[in-house]
Structure 1
Amino acid sequence: MLRKVWGKSIGIVLLCYMSMTKFALYANEGILHFIKSPELSVASVGYCLLDATTGRMIHSYDEERALLPASVLKVVTTATALDLLGPDYRFATKVGYTGTVDKDGILQGNLIIRGGGDPMLGSEFSRYPQDHFLNKLFVAVQAAGIKGIKGRVVCDDSLFDTEGVSHKWLWEDMGNYFAAGSYGLNYSDNMYRLILRSGTVGTAPQILGTKPEIPDLMFSNYLRAAANAIDSVYIYGAPFSGQRYLYGTLPANRSTFTVKGDIPDPALYLGQVVSGMFVSKGIKVQGKPITVRLLRERGETFSYFGMHQLLSFSSDKLIDIITVTNKRSNNLFAETLLKQIALTRYPIASASRGIEVVSGYWREKGIDVSSLMLADGSGLSPVNRISAGAVARILFSIKNGKNGDSFLRTLPKAGEEGTVRNLLKGSRLNGSLYLKSGSIMGVQCFAGYYIGQKPYIIVLMVNNFTGPRSILRRDIERLFLSELSGR
């Protein structure tokens, strides 16, 4: 009996030793000191530092453990899109009409806007003015001699499925701008700004309006003014629904206070904007705007038969869209890219099809992505998982491919840009680290490249930390400085 117990005890000790040896095989003093930080006492940490030229592991710690990446997942989505579509790829939004234009210039039919999934259409991040598409559309309609529309504006959002938001996102995110849905026809970043005015502590703020004005958008206001300077406003609401609920607090005694929400139905909103523009310019539109989704829900048929094309509007280049995605951590753009990835293999896009293509693409390249478990393309879902090692292998692959230099420039420089503009600011690494950050409750991750005497890939993923995020970021800065200074 004692021999059996003794044998089991030795086995357990050996198993623990082998596990610790595996974690510490490439670990050095820097990472071992980092994981002893008090805020990491119950945390999970994955880390690796690779030679970006050879792929040789320099240092690592538990790098194959699947962890929640938050927005670091965007490097996987954007790297896949760049490889599959190329840096010069452009989305196309097409405009045409069905029916005929009579001798008086009246269109006896519908004006059609066919969405190509362009996330930059009317975007404040585009290289073009926000009204550039509308101006081009109006010029094309004028050139066709159209002076009135007997039908209506039909917005075709059917290139993507109707599930614009992930069912794995949290309810507290739904309705907020960073959880905007991605559809076959997007417009104006699928976002509005809600303007509020607050009074004394404990009172309900006044709703002044939205910019832009969204027809049929209604708010139930449960907000209260508070004696602090923190924005704790939450906008709750479902896709395609005009009802929004406001909860939380905002600073007291503000003449104006702005928060951002998602446009419930971007395609329908675009139809309303276009119809309104026509009317303001003297082109009467008889019918109310509608989307292909709504037509199908009502059981009405829709056909492009005999459609006359008036305009094919091209988006910004894909590399510019990816730059916004990574430097501004834009969730809408990442989700749209995931669906565009799906279109490389399927006729209709969905997030699940995009996830399938992403996973398959890297497996086909011989990269171990067994830890990759995705629910979206942006990292907003709390059920996403990937290991630091898998992220590093993907970064190594794209760095040494045809799009390596282009991809590097889409990442923000630590100490200078985007979500890492304050990280390592003024240090020896200021401007030398190209990093994507990721953070949600209890999660802080970084992944990217160090360009020094030689290029390196560095990935750090921390889950379930406790204590202030500022303290953790300070410790991360110390780790990066100890690991990369002098390299």
Structure 2
Amino acid sequence: MTRAWPLALSAVLAVAAVLWLATPSQADADGVEAQTLAVIDDILADPDLPSAIWGIVVHDARDGRVVLSRNADKNLLPASNLKLFTTAAALDRLGPTFRYTTRLYHLGDVSPDGTLRGDLVIRGSGDPTFGSEGQGDPLEDWAQALAAAGVRRIDGRIVGDDDVFEDARYGEGWDVTHIATESYAPAAGGLVWGDNLVSIQIAGTSPGQAPRFESDPPGFATVTGDVTTRSGGGRLDVERTLGTDTFVLRGGVPSGYRGTLRVPVANPTLFAVHAFALRLQEAGIDVSRAARVDVDDTERKPRYDDAEPLQAYVSPTLDDIVERINRESDNLYAEQVFRTVGGGDTDTAEDRVQAFVTSTGVDGDDLYLADGSGLSRKDMVTPASLASVLRTMRTHPAGASFRRSLPEGGGAGSTLRNRLDGVPVRAKTGSLLAVRCLAGYVDGPGGTPYVFVLMANNYTTSGGRIARAQDAIVRALATGRPVPAEE
């Protein structure tokens, strides 16, 4: 619904906008910049723009001069713009070439007939890429290597060791409806595999009959429900009781439907152990007597003194991981990296990210970081702090990796794939209910480099109109003139 502002109120807002723009730093701007500010003023004064709390900072990246500022020191919800703090702090602390290593140990003996007695342990490192979509499956490689070495049976336990991280699977303040069934909100952990997601494959059958369900990997999740195949369209809802891996499907699907749902698991460690047991079995190794155990359920922790790993998986470098975090806004990857920055502890991670923000020239203690991905509605950051991080990373030793991780306008496979095509911009999006953010770098007229932060909170209509206004502001910064909004 479009709300028309009363004429008198519009006039007051216009006067307030003029006063806001007429700061000393902006008065020093050249003619093109002044025109740009006037265009931005018109965008924000549009009576069709939903009412929102705006936080805006624009800097000339060369000297840090403030070109535009509005509510710069107000704490606002950043949504996935929080990933910029996480990834910048990680690159600063760990370096772009950092890699995770996940190892497989056998803590026991081997009989002449190829039986492994004792514990076969996957020692996690917090690596988000372990078995991740598009990264291959190390568990399959390991199983085949053991079979090739003559292993025929596992007579002991298959243990998942996730103790590199504390047991804090979700960020403080995450929505329970997200963590129950949404693929973008899987649990974090010291040992993850396959993005911590089970795939449920669904195939319609004859109208009036139940469709076929299969889970992958098989045998881990229980899938039930009241679903029918229909001759026309359909709708499918998923339910799960937290702490279980039982999924209930309700609704209907067309007879020709073929689709896959990806849903989060309750215990990532047991999920990885289960997947490894399946891979061992597929490689011809008998696992019928192998118990599958989370290290947290054992009385004695594995001891790795003098133990040599049988196999190891080394992750891609951190700069590649950061690229996935920022280009695709991958929440699991962000949460894993956040915990890594904290040495496995989320409170320490918050302290270290805040310390990094403080090192850029603003007070990081004023922020509240409930997680590393921005899914939490308890996260609070200021536009000024985010702009300071962006400005610092522009000249940071890891700055090239950081900038490369940000989506370019219209970038295929990124969160800007349908936005700002052709604009010389690198920026991270962020969205939650009543939150839309966009922050990054854009080249203005004559190549003037700008750092910008655009945060909008607390609006009651669709975020699409807010996003279009943010895009129009970026286009104005890039061109110095009005540009028709993207449809």
1:125-136 equivalences in 2 (<5 Å): 125-126=134-135, 130-136=136-142
Does structure 2 conserve the Cα–Cα contact (< 8 Å) formed by 1:46 and 1:461?
Answer: yes
Cross-structure match for 2:293: 290
Measure, in 2, the Cα distance between the counterparts of 1:75 and 1:231. Answer: 36
Matched, 1:91 2:87: no
Cross-structure match for 2:442: 450
Structure 1 residue 210: Cα displacement: 2.3
SS of residue in 2 equivalent to 1:336: helix
When structure 1 is superposed on structure 2, of 324-333 and 55-64 the one drifting more is: 55-64
When structure 1 is superposed on structure 2, of 158-167 and 229-238 the one drifting more is: 229-238
Matched, 1:217 2:221: yes
Structure 1 residue 307: Cα displacement: 3.2
Q: After superposition, what is the alpha-carbon deviation per residue over 1:148-205, rounded to whole angstroms, capped at 9, x for unaligned?
A: 322121111111112211241011101321110111011011112223356999x997
TM-score by length of 2: 0.83
Measure, in 2, the Cα distance between the counterparts of 1:304 and 1:339. Answer: 23
Structure 1 residue 485: Cα displacement: 0.8
Cross-structure match for 1:271: 273
Structure 1 residue 271: Cα displacement: 1.6
Cross-structure match for 1:342: 342
Cross-structure match for 2:426: 434
Measure, in 1, the Cα distance between the counterparts of 2:385 and 2:264. Answer: 33
Identity %: 28
Does structure 1 conserve the Cα–Cα contact (< 8 Å) formed by 2:236 and 2:252?
Answer: yes
Matched, 1:330 2:330: yes
Structure 1 residue 57: Cα displacement: 1.1
Distance 1:456 1:135, change over 3 A: same
Structure 1 residue 206: Cα displacement: 3.6
Measure, in 2, the Cα distance between the counterparts of 1:415 and 1:279. Answer: 45
Measure, in 2, the Cα distance between the counterparts of 1:228 and 1:436. Answer: 39
Cross-structure match for 1:190: 196
Cross-structure match for 1:257: 259
SS of residue in 2 equivalent to 1:174: helix
Distance 1:475 1:309, change over 3 A: closer
Cross-structure match for 2:144: 138
Q: After superposition, what is the alpha-carbon deviation per residue over 1:201-252, rounded to whole angstroms, capped at 9, x for unaligned?
A: 9x99745222333x3422453679999989774544424x2233446x6775
Instruction: Please point out which of 23, 37, 48 is paired with 2:46.
Output: 37
Does structure 2 conserve the Cα–Cα contact (< 8 Å) formed by 1:98 and 1:306?
Answer: no
Cross-structure match for 2:455: 461
Letter in 2 for 1:191: L
Distance 1:481 1:111, change over 3 A: same
Matched, 1:484 2:482: no
Measure, in 1, the Cα distance between the counterparts of 2:281 and 2:206. Answer: 43
Cross-structure match for 2:33: none
When structure 1 is superposed on structure 2, of 403-412 and 147-156 the one drifting more is: 147-156
Letter in 2 for 1:284: D
Measure, in 2, the Cα distance between the counterparts of 1:330 and 1:396. Answer: 23
SS of residue in 2 equivalent to 1:33: helix
Instruction: Please point out which of 128, 148, 152 is paired with 2:153.
Output: 148
Cross-structure match for 1:471: 465
Distance 1:265 1:133, change over 3 A: same
Structure 1 residue 68: Cα displacement: 0.7
Structure 1 residue 84: Cα displacement: 0.7
Does structure 2 conserve the Cα–Cα contact (< 8 Å) formed by 1:166 and 1:376?
Answer: yes
Q: After superposition, what is the alpha-carbon deviation per residue over 1:435-461, rounded to whole angstroms, capped at 9, x for unaligned?
A: 110111111110111145132111100
Give ranges in structure 2 of 5+ residues lacking alignment.
Answer: 1-14, 27-36, 482-487
Measure, in 1, the Cα distance between the counterparts of 2:221 and 2:405. Answer: 35
Structure 1 residue 141: Cα displacement: 6.4
Give ranges in structure 1 of 5+ residues lacking alignment.
Answer: 1-16, 344-348
SS of residue in 1 equivalent to 2:364: coil
When structure 1 is superposed on structure 2, of 19-28 and 318-327 the one drifting more is: 19-28
Does structure 2 conserve the Cα–Cα contact (< 8 Å) formed by 1:174 and 1:235?
Answer: no
Structure 1 residue 331: Cα displacement: 0.2
Cross-structure match for 2:169: 164
Structure 1 residue 318: Cα displacement: 0.7
Q: After superposition, what is the alpha-carbon deviation per residue over 1:292-329, rounded to whole angstroms, capped at 9, x for unaligned?
A: 0232xxx4554445634212321111111111111111
Structure 1 residue 24: Cα displacement: 6.2
Distance 1:441 1:365, change over 3 A: closer
When structure 1 is superposed on structure 2, of 85-94 and 357-366 the one drifting more is: 357-366
When structure 1 is superposed on structure 2, of 108-117 and 258-267 the one drifting more is: 258-267
When structure 1 is superposed on structure 2, of 273-282 and 185-194 the one drifting more is: 273-282
Structure 1 residue 108: Cα displacement: 2.4
Does structure 2 conserve the Cα–Cα contact (< 8 Å) formed by 1:125 and 1:324?
Answer: no
Does structure 2 conserve the Cα–Cα contact (< 8 Å) formed by 1:450 and 1:457?
Answer: yes
TM-score by length of 1: 0.83
Q: After superposition, what is the alpha-carbon deviation per residue over 1:302-361, rounded to whole angstroms, capped at 9, x for unaligned?
A: 444563421232111111111111111100000000000011xxxxx1322211221122
Cross-structure match for 1:407: 402
Cross-structure match for 1:121: 130
Does structure 2 conserve the Cα–Cα contact (< 8 Å) formed by 1:123 and 1:189?
Answer: yes
Cross-structure match for 1:391: 386
Matched, 1:180 2:183: no
SS of residue in 2 equivalent to 1:409: helix
SS of residue in 1 equivalent to 2:179: coil
Measure, in 2, the Cα distance between the counterparts of 1:465 and 1:406. Answer: 34
Does structure 2 conserve the Cα–Cα contact (< 8 Å) formed by 1:98 and 1:305?
Answer: no
Instruction: Please point out which of 104, 115, 127 is paired with 2:113.
Output: 104
Measure, in 2, the Cα distance between the counterparts of 1:437 and 1:20. Answer: 28
Letter in 1 for 2:179: M
Letter in 1 for 2:275: V
Letter in 1 for 2:40: I
**RMSD of Structure 2 on Structure 1 (CA):** 3.1
Letter in 2 for 1:325: I
Does structure 2 conserve the Cα–Cα contact (< 8 Å) formed by 1:110 and 1:152?
Answer: yes
Structure 1 residue 270: Cα displacement: 2.0
Distance 1:473 1:259, change over 3 A: same
Measure, in 2, the Cα distance between the counterparts of 1:474 and 1:22. Answer: 22
Q: After superposition, what is the alpha-carbon deviation per residue over 1:99-155, rounded to whole angstroms, capped at 9, x for unaligned?
A: 2223333222111110011100111143xxx22453145325644x53332212111
Measure, in 2, the Cα distance between the counterparts of 1:68 and 1:394. Answer: 17
Between Structure 1 and Structure 2, how many residues are aligned? 451
Cross-structure match for 2:4: none
